[in-house]
Structure 1
Amino acid sequence: MLVRPARELLGFVGARHRGGPVRVPHDGTAVLGHLVQSTGVPLTEVGELLLDGVPAETGDRPSDGGVVDVAPVRYPERIRNRFVLDVHLGKLARRMRLLGIDTAYRNDATDEELLERAARQRRVLLTRDRGLLRRRALPEGAYVYASDPARQQTEVLARFEPTPRPWTRCVSCNGQLVEVPKAEIAARLEPGTRRCYDEFARCVACGGIYWPGAHSPRLRAIVESALRRAARDDHLVEGPGSVQG
């Protein structure tokens, strides 16, 4: 069986196979999805499959000797707007929470905990761990191609098109922010903050306090960029980038 991943997916396969198709041993019992994943390409990154030029499904059982063409997933991919991120994506998690996107993250979560949370809370797992995406216990996931947090944010927004709701989530814990009377939290404020600001929000989960003056120019730039993207009626749909080998 020959498997021919698209150019965008070649970074997932072994270096010696990147110049051509991958020959995969096949005993006639494996389904197409298993054969594709055996090349190193996670099914989360797979779009259309062609078996000998004919559209096929991951659950099909092909006969030996065929040729499988593997296309990358197409953007936008609207599956869910709730996410859980692996331990290496902490900066992206804060950016997503800043935009009001439901983003679960712990910097000490194990792979098993990530998989369990993704399944139990019906979240898309975002990771740069290729092996994690090939785990059978994972219901939905996506590889994050970019290494820079700003580009990672752009990538996630392009792939899933979540609706930004800036300043509605705690960047520390992902809890919802609700308005709170100044009098209720005045004792927790620094004198300058108490004197200069009257509008405040509090995280319902961890109790963190937020106010407009806490929004630095850098944070505002992140939010404004995301809102401009969401507002574009005819935006550029980006596909996956190259995988770092």
Structure 2
Amino acid sequence: MNKQVKVLVIEDDSYICELITLYTEKSGYIVSIANDGMKGLEMFYDSPPDLVILDIMMPEMDGWEVCKEIRKWDKTPIIMLTGRGESYDKLKGFDLGADDYLVKPFDPNELMARIKAVLRRANPMLDANGTIEHPLLKIDRQQYKVTCAGQEIVLPPKEMELLYFLASHSNQVFTRQQLLDQLWGFDFEGDPRTINVHIKRIREKLGDSNPYWNVKTIRGVGYKFEVESQCYE
């Protein structure tokens, strides 16, 4: 049931491409390679990845331009690679919308740690070891299993993903549209009220008498997974 993470590497150095491929595939990711900026953009549009690893100095189109074009389209996480470590380059990368920055030569293990951190920030549903625990509640995304008050609760995939997402952002309010964008995708054309239906079913299955947490409606705004702070003291 796990979604495999797709990584697009846009880099003209074949050795670095091989190195990144070796480590990312070992972590279970699907890797695609482009050796110039124009080809990288084509591959990005043809099959949008979950994360882009982007070199700055490349033929056809440099990494700055590729980053700008990607940011016109969506918010896919980008880690930029460069042979230069000047602070100006880093600031320019962040200004253009890059999520992280790594100077060559780099430790592949450090790159993997950064990839996982960026993916967690961008979308907790992509965290390979996704388990969330609150008092009387455990959500194991890897096994798609929810345990509430010692009882296993069966949730369909979308209800499971919705609960996991909300619980991984405790006390943060999300609009219906934000939840649709995160879990159904930006191109979803269905009724936004589908969120209401899923929330209703989640509440029915988990019950509404828990003193520690609840899936709360914020009238006129959306929903949040509300956690009582004293239960962690």
Task: Report which of the two structures shows the higher radius of gyration computed on alpha carbons.
Answer: 1
Whether TM-score is above 0.5 comes out as no
Greater RCO between the two (CA within 8 Å, min separation 6)? 1
Structure 1 or 2: more helix by fraction? 2
Provide TM-score, normalisation by structure 2.
0.27
